[in-house]
Each structure stands twice: as C-alpha cells, then as structure tokens.
Amino acid sequence: MKLEGIGAFVAGGASGLGAATARELVARGARVAIADLDGDKAAALADELGAGSVAFRADVTDEAEVEAAVANAVEALGGLRFAVGCAGIGWAEKVVSKRGPAQLQPFETVVRVNLIGMFNVLRLAAAAMNDNEPDADGERGAVVMTASAAAYEGQIGQTAYSASKGGIVGMTLPAARDLSSRGIRVVTIAPGLFDTPLLAALPQEARDSLGATIPFPPRLGRPEEFAHLTCAIAENVMLNGEVIRLDGALRMAPR
C-alpha cells in the first residue's frame, strides 16, 4: 500500500518503538492515531506531530477502550488501512527460586498485556479495515505485530515474557490465513536488543556491553530502524504471514 494519505493506528504509540513508528508514518504522509495507556504522553506526541495526528488513551487489554479508540481513529482519520501493535510489558522471575515457585499473577498479567492485548488490537483493527474498498492489489489493510527475539531464545527468568511473545509468533500465520480472503495482511517483527525506555534506565556501560553482544552492527538497535521496517512491510504487499527477526544476527545466551 502507499502510505501517503492513509489512516494508521499505533497501539503503544506514545514511547519507544511505537513513538518512532508514529513519527516515521507521519514523515511518509500518513495520518496517525496514537493509542496508549498513558493518554497524556500520547496527546503530547500527537501535538508534536501536528495536524493529521490524533491520540487516544487505551488499555490494550480492555475490549471497550480499544474498540472505541479504533472507531474514533476511523472517524478522525477518514478510515484505517494500517495498524501496528507495540504495547508490551516485561517481568523477570525464575520458575522456582529460593523463595519458592514463581508467582502466577505476574505471568498472567504479562500474557494478558503482550499476547491477549496484541490479539485485541489485531482483531479490532482488522474488523475496521474490512470495510475498506480494496486497492489495485485487492488489499484492504495490513497489521504489524511486535514479538521479540525472546520468543526463540528466552533467557533465564523470561518464561512469562517469552511465552507471551512466542504466542504472537505462533498466531501470525493463522491470522494471516484467516484474513487473506478479506485482503488484510498480518506480519510480525521480532526485535532483538533495542534502545528503548526499558533499557534507558541502565548505566551507559551496561548498555554498551549489551550492544557489543550483537554480531553486526555491534550496538543496540535504534527505534527508527524498527519504524523503517514497519513502513517497508506496509509498502510490500507480498510480505504476509511472516515473522521477521530484526536483531543484527543476535542469538540470546541463557543469561
């Protein structure tokens, strides 16, 4: 699809990978709806991006909030042809430690936000795209989901996070097949180590050390590199049902 003039929806779009994606979409001429649990931060980014950008507070795990955000985005932008899901959280805990078995509630919360929340965005964005007139390729829209390299090589303490991201990887192909008759594509990006707010709290020495574990380039990924890939996926109609690792050939060690 051509990004110029389309309506796009970015869940978790107020910071990190989502914010970079919103900025890149606007730079390429798209009109963007930024949805985030932090409504004030989303509104500030929409103001920064200027006319054609709108913001909504939405918890990805809340059916009504995401449904309202998508509906409002369609109304404000005049339609929706592209959606990117970037909302996610992490939790580190071993299955069994000196304290005993892992807590169940944090595991449930991570899966609910990262996996169920992603599916919530996917299903509601795709339903909105279903009303679009198909373009010359028969396409009505595309959705990009965010997994992680941890879906493949989860480290010690990452059972919850890896399970949630592995679930996104697992649902990519069947979702693409489900939506193929409607002309809606589904692709997932699995980033490696990226310079996001999650890593920003670490000392620079620790950040440099993490970056050095990446074969090439030997540095943390930049959010704008993730954003460039989301736009390339939107523009290439043959990309469908695939999970793309964006990790500089990184393969995570156990710890």
Of residues 121 and 199, the one with the higher pLDDT is 121
Q: Which residue out of 56, 107, 161, 226 is catalytically annotated?
A: 161
Instruction: Output the pLDDT for position 154.
Output: 92
Kindly tell me if the per-residue pLDDT of 201 is higher than 80.
no
pLDDT in tens, 29-61: 999 999 999 999 999 999 999 988 999 999 999
Does a structural domain hold residue 63?
Answer: yes
In this prediction, residues 97-123 reach a mean pLDDT of 97
- pLDDT on residue 208: 84
Average pLDDT, the chain: 96
Those residues whose C-beta lies under 8 Å from the C-beta of residue 60, and which sit 6 or more positions away, are: 11, 12, 35, 37, 66, 85, 87, 113, 117, 118, 120, 121
Position 31 in a domain:
yes
Percent of the chain residues topping a pLDDT of 90: 91
Do 12 and 86 meet the contact criterion of CB atoms below 8 Å apart? yes
204 belongs to a structural domain: no
Give residue-wise pLDDT tens across range 76-105: 999 999 999 999 999 999 999 999 999 999
Examine the residue annotation and report whether 161 is marked as an active-site residue of this protein.
Answer: yes
Residue 205: inside a domain: no
For residue 207, the model assigns a pLDDT of: 78
CATH number at 240 reads 3.40.50.720
More confident residue, 47 or 252: 47
> Is 156 part of a structural domain of the chain?
yes
| Count of structural domains, the chain | 1
120: how many CB neighbours lie within 10 A of its CB?
25
- Residue 133's domain spans which residues? 7-194+222-245
| In a domain? residue 101 | yes
